Amino acid sequence: MYWTGLGLPVKANRLKVVDVDGGPGVPSDDSGSEETTLDVQQSGGVAPAAKMIVYQAPNTDQGFYDAFARAINDNAAETVSVSWGEWEWFETQTTVSVGRAGRSVQSLQAFNTLFLRAAVQGQSFFAAAGDNGAYDVEGNAPEPFFSRVLAVDSPAASAWITAAGGTTLAGDQSFLLGDGSVFTVNVPTERVWGWDYLTGLCAALGLDLIDCVFPGGTGGGVSSYVPRPFYQDWVSGMRNTEPHQKLVDNTTSPPTLIVKLPANYRGRNLPDVSLNADPDTGYIIPYTSSENGFGVDAFIGGTSFTAPQLNGIAALLGQRVRGRLGLFNVPLYLVAATPLGYAGHGAPLHDIKSGNNWFYTGHAGYDQGTGVGTLDVANFGRALLLLGY
């Protein structure tokens, strides 16, 4: 219904659903059906002629791993995306069963091995970078109960997956205040998605900026566990982990140290590339809720949208070059490293030079807010052909 309503010529039988480990059960809000819905809508909307496979599994660590393993073992999908994720440290604390023998392996290691295999066999993988700015752990360990710590999302932190970041589009945003007046915020240029630009609105509402909108913004930063991959050495702007990053539980007396992250670690930087993700410049989701029935949710966003959009874009680019792209980061950083990456009307990349995700600031070239910037897809397709794809 969504695609048809947009006037997209889609085939009625384009969707194939594969239940892994028995699947997630009956569609419901609690099982994440809305997230699955938006992923399918966005990726399939960008590439309306593509066939689609939905791998769905129970919402467990093992189910998450097994869904990826099935998609990679099948090797039927040329491009794959996921919008789920969590702070990478959690992945070092959990294990999954791997192989027929059921060998128990640390989740971070298991995912990394899977994604490397996918890259080798030519599959392109995309993952959401997260929606808690530079402080990915905030969703699970919010202030003031826990200390503030710079953190990044997994599986986006894997070296063999493309981490999808987010921007805020330029333009006016109007908000209705309690007294009936309208407060307008102007965003002059596309910027890193970080809701610090709503300072004036929060003040008009009588709210502190941190209590009002923190840490809403695109995930991005430096992995404390994944070494910097070779392709990130092709561009400048990479950073190491910051010192003094400790997660402390302040609910105990005395406070309890949970984990101390390594300082100055030469880790994987993310995101890699971005698209519009700010809910205030965002999207709609037609969705049948298990609680409220059918409705259209408006002003929805997050990097949950950019990952499936990149999935669809990669399908289109694969069609352009008549083959698989493999690890998307290789041509992405190759293009960014050339003088023509950002130059002129035919530039494949659009540099995002303003805004921040509460710690990392947008600037010329690569940054930890939007990666190499946003894509001009048509120009990027031409660049792939020049690179010999």
Q: pLDDT digit string (tens) for 293-317?
A: 999 999 999 999 999 999 999 999 9
In a domain, 372, yes or no: yes
**At 24, which CATH number?**
3.40.50.200
In a domain, 175, yes or no: no
* Whole-number average pLDDT of the chain: 96
Unique residue bearing structure tokens 């493999």: 326
* Whether residue 139 has pLDDT greater than 90: no
Residue 344 pLDDT: 86
Structural domain of residue 93, as residue ranges?
Answer: 2-166+192-386
Which runs of consecutive H residues, i.e. helices, occur in 175-327?
199-204, 209-213, 303-321
In a domain, 60, yes or no: yes
* Model confidence band, residue 35 (pLDDT cutoffs 50, 70, 90): very high
In a domain, 115, yes or no: yes
Spell out the residues 6+ positions from residue 344 whose beta carbon is closer than 8 angstroms to its own: none
The tens digit of pLDDT for each residue in 182-199 reads: 999 999 999 999 999 999
In a domain, 180, yes or no: no
The size of the chain, in residues, is 389
Residue 99 pLDDT: 83
Mean pLDDT of 4-24: 94
* Whether residue 229 has pLDDT greater than 90: yes
In a domain, 182, yes or no: no
Residue 143 pLDDT: 87
Unique residue bearing structure tokens 């503030």: 148
- CB 357 within 8 Å of CB 217: yes
The tens digit of pLDDT for each residue in 323-380 reads: 999 999 999 999 999 988 999 889 999 999 999 999 999 999 999 999 999 999 999 9
Mean pLDDT of 42-69: 96
Of the candidates 388, 330, 310, 318, the one whose C-alpha atom is nearest the C-alpha of residue 160 is 330
- The number of distinct structural domains making up the chain is 1
Query: Considering the entire predicted model, what is its pTM?
Result: 0.97
- CB 285 within 8 Å of CB 36: no
In a domain, 86, yes or no: yes
How far is it, in rounded angstroms, from Cα 10 to Cα 219? Answer: 33
Q: What are phi and psi of 273, to 5 degrees?
A: -155, 160
In a domain, 157, yes or no: yes
